[in-house]
Structure 1
Amino acid sequence: MNQKKTIELPSPAPCFDVLLSPTPRGARLARLLAVDWLRTLGLPYRVTQAAEQIVAELAANAATHGRVSGRGFRLALLAGTDALRIEVTDTRGEDLPLLSTAAPDASSGRGLVLVEGLADRWGVGLGPAPRKTVWVELNLPRC
């Protein structure tokens, strides 16, 4: 008699993915949806708070600097065993984010400094054209 073996596949990592309009309203919705999803995972408060700030900044940048009429931006969150990965993709691949120091009296220009301070790792990936993805990873504490 042939016996069938049951193979247990690892459960996929929890993920969240949404396409939003490149507007202030879309950026705000990105933050709200991310916070709601992160709360369902039961992540530590420190991670959730950092992720909320990072999503808010990256989504605002996508809505402001990555905006192309008729094209949305994508927010993706992936909770692995060791890290939470945040990705924001827009269609302005030619306009890469620059980490710079804002003038003391400037009303903007500090967002990526905040992202760098909160992130364990971050960077930019290009493609497929005309897209760019700004990604951030936050280490998750081990139990």
Structure 2
Amino acid sequence: MSDVIGGPEGSGVESVYIGAMTLYPVPESVARARRWFRKFTDPHELACSVDECVLMISELVTNAVLYGEAEDSWRVRVEWWRVGEALRVDVHNPGFPAKVRMREAAADEAHGRGLHLVDALADCWSAGPSRYGGTMVSFSVDGAWKS
């Protein structure tokens, strides 16, 4: 499966679908997302830091579980794509795109730093409407595939 969609720089680079997982909106899904991302991407021998990708996925899935809102039962969907030499990861949830924002967490707060980590580790990230309804938060890591 592939689409021509805007790449990390909006260049219209071909995006190749690599894999996906659908998770229940429960805290245990964060660990499941980490495990399955590693398992599914291992055969691709990514040239980027898989540990950093796993950390960013953990943060975005945590946010989806904590802040996703829906009247009916819902799921969190994580998809990963090859966009040129970049890896793009999309996390979908039923929340509202306008609610995605970086905030300054107080030193004693347990939450509130996830998007700051994504901002620091990813080459780019974005948030907006999901094609499934709700919100999609994405990050891209350049040079994820060996040339």
* Structures share fold, TM-score greater than 0.5: yes
- CA distance in structure 1 between the aligned counterparts of 2:131 and 2:17, rounded to whole angstroms: 25
Alpha-carbon distance between aligned partners in 1 of 2:130 and 2:53, rounded to the nearest angstrom: 24
How many residue pairs match? The answer is: 131
5+ residue gaps, structure 2, are 1-14
Structure 2 vs 1, CA of residues 37 and 107 (structure 1 numbering), >3 Å: closer, same or farther?
same
Q: Which 5+ residue runs of structure 1 have no aligned equivalent? A: 1-11
Match of 2:83 in 1: 80
Alignment of 1:52 onto 2:57: no
Going by fraction, where is strand more abundant, 1 or 2?
2
For 1:79 and 1:126, the matched residues in 2 are separated by 21
- Paired with 1:125 and 1:98, the residues of 2 have a C-alpha distance of 11
The whole-number CA distance in structure 2 between the counterparts of 1:136 and 1:88 is 9
Cα RMSD between the aligned structures?
Answer: 2.1
Identity of aligned residues (%): 24
1:93 aligned to 2:112?
Answer: no
TM-score, normalization: structure 1? 0.81
Kept in 1: contact 2:97–2:128 (CA 8 A): no
Number of the residue aligned with 1:117: 120
Give the TM-score normalised by structure 2.
0.79
**Greater Rg, structure 1 or structure 2?**
1
